[in-house]
Amino acid sequence: MAVRDAFGLTFSGATDAGFSSYSQAVRELQCFIGDPVFSVGRAIAEDPGFVMAHVFKGYLFGLATEREATAVARTCHEAALPLAATTREQAHVAALGHLAAGHWHEAARLLEDIAIEFPLDALALQTGHQIDFFTGNARMLRDRIGRALPSWQNGMPGYHAILGMQAFGLEEMGDYARAEKLGRAAVDIEPRDGWAQHAVAHVMEMQSRQKDGILWMRANPEAWTQESFLQVHNWWHLALFHYDLGETDQVLALYDGPIYGERSTLALNMVDASAILWRLHLGGVDVGARWAALAANWAKASAGNYAFNDAHAMMAFVGAGLEAPARTLIEAQREAMNGNDDNAAFTRDVGHPLTLAIKAFGDGNYAETVRLIRPIRAIAHRFGGSHAQRDVIDLTLIEAALRSGDHALAKALAAERALARPDSPLSALFSRRADVLSEN
């Protein structure tokens, strides 16, 4: 029993009914809409021996960066192991096994090999692309998709998603003109493609085109918010544009509304909430009880599971003035660094020193914040995220240098940022503050 898809790929153990639900899940993931977990669950219920349905579900949970979800991914891997599978599908099962075990880089390599041999395997491309994001591998964000792109053409199911992923990879490698062109083309094909929408937003963020970014995000929000599980992150992008313009009221309104009005307990949403509040905190904005509500949810999350999340949890604990969960988080990181998974290295190389630096900032020990952050700036990509997300590291360093009274370093960092983002009002503000510090 098997089904062949529109690209000629074989799906073992599938019937037409089960494959229909699976295809729905694939489309939902490619747009970041709906409920792909439910759809693929329906495929499994229809066809329990459908090996790629189990793998797909495992990928969804394995990419959630939460301990409980990772446990589900392991269960999916165990269910897939004994099932009939082609060589391609067996490679997917192996990749899921590595992802569920926390071996992100090995999973990425296996998915790379699958896509080299089967460039029309959309799931291999998208899962690999997401792993590249979570491991901060900018080159592979571009090249994994770039290798396959010649095999794709307009009219193929999911072509928009391939363009959107290529756009994001190009943006992370600094190829902004081509990134924007492909991202816009993807959205023209499929307006609900939240990843392509966000790729264009990234271009505008990196180029300090705040007003263009606001226009881009506000032009058709119904398209990228409708049933979208990426909408919080895209609202966060809109908030960044307002933040750079100094429009604090707009930022807080977005936070209280679509970003964290519902107080999600999903780690990916809490990361965005922490990231925007911390930026406001660095600027001396009093956000009131927002920190306490966010910190309460972070305290329920699994610390030491993914270093990128840990740093953002510490932002909330510092903002809320909570010592106990901050200490628990640091201990969890110390334990994580003794592990044999990739997060041990994520934490050791970047996550732990950054988390300590954020804690030091909260304690008013700005010189210590500077000491901890400076060595990790060049390798910060190792613990994941995008350039836009990791910019919070530089923002924290600049603010710490200013507050510590290190006028030479503050002036140097302000000049550095003005060169990288010459059209940013925030860059100009840092330069003015550094100049005042030097005069005193």
Give 242-300 pLDDT, tens digit per residue: 999 999 999 999 999 999 999 999 999 999 999 999 999 999 999 999 999 999 999 99
pLDDT value of residue 439 = 80
Report the pLDDT value the prediction gives residue 106, as an integer from 0 to 100: 98
Report the percent of the chain where pLDDT is more than 90.
Answer: 99
Q: What pLDDT shows up at residue 384?
A: 97
Contact between 300 and 343 (Cβ < 8 Å): no
pLDDT-derived band at 161, boundaries 50, 70, 90: very high
Q: Is the CB of residue 234 less than 8 Å from the CB of residue 204?
A: no
Give residue 21's pLDDT: 98
440 vs 77, more confident:
77
For residue 440, pLDDT beyond 80: no
Q: What is the pLDDT of residues 216-231, one digit of tens each?
A: 999 999 999 999 999 9
User: What would the pLDDT profile of 112-136 be if each residue is shown by its tens digit?
Assistant: 999 999 999 999 999 999 999 999 9
Confidence category of residue 360, pLDDT binned at 50, 70, 90:
very high
Fold of 1-133: 1.25.40
Please give the average per-residue pLDDT across 347-362, as a whole number.
98
Average pLDDT score over residue span 46-70: 97
Residue 1 has pLDDT above 90, yes or no: no
Q: Give the pLDDT band of residue 347 (cuts 50, 70, 90).
A: very high
Question: Is pTM beyond 0.95 here?
Answer: yes
Separation CA 234–CA 432 (nearest Å): 31
Report how far residue 316's alpha carbon sits from residue 320's, in angstroms, rounded to the nearest whole number.
6
CB 334 within 8 A of CB 287: no
- If you average pLDDT over residues 288-314, what whole number do you get? 97
- Beta partners for 171? none
Task: Give Cβ neighbours of residue 211 (< 8 Å, ≥ 6 apart).
Answer: 241, 245
Average pLDDT, the chain: 97
pLDDT of 438 reads 80
Q: Are 164 and 33 in contact (CB under 8 A)?
A: no
Helix (H) or strand (E) holding 4: strand 2-4
Other C-beta atoms lying within 10 Å of the C-beta of residue 367: 14
pLDDT of residue 39: 98
